[in-house]
Amino acid sequence: MRGITKRFPGVRALDGVDLEVEAGEVHCLLGQNGAGKSTLIKVLSGVHQPDEGEVRFGGEPVRLAGPTAAMRLGIATIYQELDLVDGLSVAENVFLGHERASYGFVRRREAARAAGELLARLGHPEIPPNRLVERLSPAGKQVVSMARALSHDARLIIMDEPSAALAHDEVANLFRLVRELTSAGVAVIYISHRLEEIREIGDRVTVLKDGRTVAVGLPAATTPTPEIVRLMTGRSVEYVFPPRRPRPAVPEAGGRDPEADGLGTEILRVEGLTVPGEFADVSFSVRAGEIVGLAGLVGSGRTEILETVYGLRRPSAGRVLLDGRPVRPGSAARAVRLGMGLAPEERKSQALLLEDSLADNITLAGLPRYSRLGWLDRRRALADAAEQIAALDVRPADARRPVKTLSGGNQQKAVLARWLINGRRLLLLDEPTRGVDVGARAELYALIRRLADAGLGVLLVSSEVPEVLGLADRVLVVREGRVIHQADARDLDEHRVLDMIMEGSLS
């Protein structure tokens, strides 16, 4: 790709971008949210037509008139926002657009067999080809999207944040697959905000900033991470977490008074919570000013615990207390009235109205306070939203802007603003930095710590063990539906936590 320029109304998304990818290499494309990465890969996959510049594939100039033209050439894309059809089966999604058919009839049995072979190649033979996609976990959907890309016998595969929804062991399997592809001569463009992955899987790196190429073909293994961060952000960003307030570990029963040790009053108490098939006999507490992190693999029960605390799932045993008052099982509305707020794992599908304005999204959970006799006081709602936008430094600071146009970090701030505008007591955060670049992560970490220091309780789930250890005050290790260990985060390290979540070992 040479001199690729793409304009949209009021913005130049790409300004003379260059990208060169060789057969059999993993070429990492890096940049902050809004740098132009998504627009560039949409040009390469035929979704957008460039206003200027040239694309050559296999040495020949090509015009990618649409996604079908790109696929016919051998360019397959796995998007961060998965383009699957929930109402179709796994096999139907894998071969969507190039169905196995004869005389107008789809050969379903053959498609299911072929899809099963692709899933086995990806290390997931347990996913039934005939299961509806809507019944899969986010990680399962990611695997199906990868199987679809493999079904095209692609010469170039574009992977946009492929590890975002994967557990630690699944990432290792993803890397095995990538190496298998490149050893066969397939080129891979790999996009990730996890910079530690770049050194492990990448061959070369191209960095975008503000729609321009600022570095081309850097060696992935030897370019220092601080240099990559500087190129991405234009400044030096230390990948550090905000300091915790000094305090001793949570005392055991019969020990010192926790409030005398500087901890706030207890906000959340979970006692013997059980959801059959998901988790069992889970008990813990969260105090004002405390961040409690849940560390575990995808499927360990960590997200299900969060959703049950919030009232989205009905437990068979146990109870949830918020400020000493019971949260009605299976009632999220009751949890919201008592002062909880949830930032779910998939913010775009589970939390945001993408076509609506930033203001509408922020005020969504508090509509009764802006309505009178059935009429909405939009002026007041807009003013309150603007106040939260300023307080959380959401950019651009335009309350009327459609939320779909914001970067991942600013969308996550919008979700948090929705709850803060209503004065929450407890925030439940599931993968709060997924799809968020390194600069925005530092901002979110500082924001979460600031909220805790102001007296909120925070219950945090993250697939990234360093994130849990760096941000949380106390860590609960979840394995196979049970909390197997609780400790102050300062008493743990990454290797010990990984041993526990992978093997159940406390060594």
Helix (H) or strand (E) holding 430: strand 426-430
Q: Mean pLDDT lowest for which of 152-166, 244-258, 430-444, 493-507?
A: 244-258
Helix (H) or strand (E) holding 449: helix 438-453
Q: Mean pLDDT lowest for which of 10-19, 94-103, 122-131?
A: 94-103
Q: Decide if pLDDT at 251 tops 50.
A: no
Angstrom distance (rounded) from CA 297 to CA 282: 16
What is the band of 260 on the pLDDT scale with cuts at 50, 70, 90? very low
What is the pLDDT, as a whole number, of residue 349?
83
What is the pLDDT, as a whole number, of residue 240?
67
DSSP 407: -
- Average pLDDT of the chain is 87
What is the band of 214 on the pLDDT scale with cuts at 50, 70, 90? very high
What is the pLDDT, as a whole number, of residue 253?
44
Q: What average pLDDT does this structure show over 4-30?
A: 92
Does 260 or 470 have the greater pLDDT score? 470
Class of domain 240-339+424-507: alpha beta
Per-residue pLDDT tens digits for 27-55: 999 987 678 898 999 999 999 999 999 99
What is the band of 167 on the pLDDT scale with cuts at 50, 70, 90? low
- Considering 142-146, 314-318, 375-379, the range whose residues carry the highest mean pLDDT is 314-318
- Say which residues have a Cβ less than 8 Å from residue 496's Cβ, sequence separation at least 6: 506, 507
Q: Decide if pLDDT at 378 tops 50.
A: yes
Q: If we measure between CA atoms, which residue out of 196, 137, 192 comes closest to residue 159?
A: 192
What is the pLDDT, as a whole number, of residue 262?
55
- Considering 236-245, 362-371, 494-503, the range whose residues carry the highest mean pLDDT is 362-371
Angstrom distance (rounded) from CA 406 to CA 218: 29
What is the pLDDT, as a whole number, of residue 233?
73
Does 178 or 153 have the greater pLDDT score? 178
What is the band of 258 on the pLDDT scale with cuts at 50, 70, 90? very low
Q: Mean pLDDT lowest for which of 197-201, 294-298, 468-472?
A: 294-298
Cis preceding-peptide flag for 396 (omega within 30 of 0): yes
Cβ–Cβ under 8 Å, residues 123 and 173 = yes
Q: From the CA atom positions of the chain, what is the Rg in Å?
A: 24
Q: Mean pLDDT lowest for which of 108-117, 380-389, 493-502?
A: 493-502
What is the pLDDT, as a whole number, of residue 471?
93
Cβ–Cβ under 8 Å, residues 216 and 31 = no
Q: Decide if pLDDT at 255 tops 70.
A: no
The proportion of the chain whose per-residue pLDDT surpasses 70, expressed as a percent, equals: 93
Provide the residue type at 51 as one letter.
D
Q: Decide if pLDDT at 172 tops 90.
A: no
The proportion of the chain whose per-residue pLDDT surpasses 90, expressed as a percent, equals: 50
pTM exceeding the 0.75 threshold for the entire prediction: no
Cβ–Cβ under 8 Å, residues 126 and 55 = no
Backbone angles phi, psi at 468, to 5 degrees: -60, -45
- Considering 181-195, 303-317, 344-358, 383-397, the range whose residues carry the highest mean pLDDT is 303-317
Architecture of domain 2-233: 3-Layer(aba) Sandwich (3.40)
Helix locations, 87-220, DSSP H: 90-94, 108-121, 138-150, 168-183, 195-201
Q: Decide if pLDDT at 302 tops 70.
A: yes
Per-residue pLDDT tens digits for 432-491: 888 777 777 888 898 899 999 999 999 999 888 888 999 999 999 999 899 999 999 999
Q: CATH 3.40.50.300 in the chain: give the residue spans.
A: 2-233, 240-339+424-507
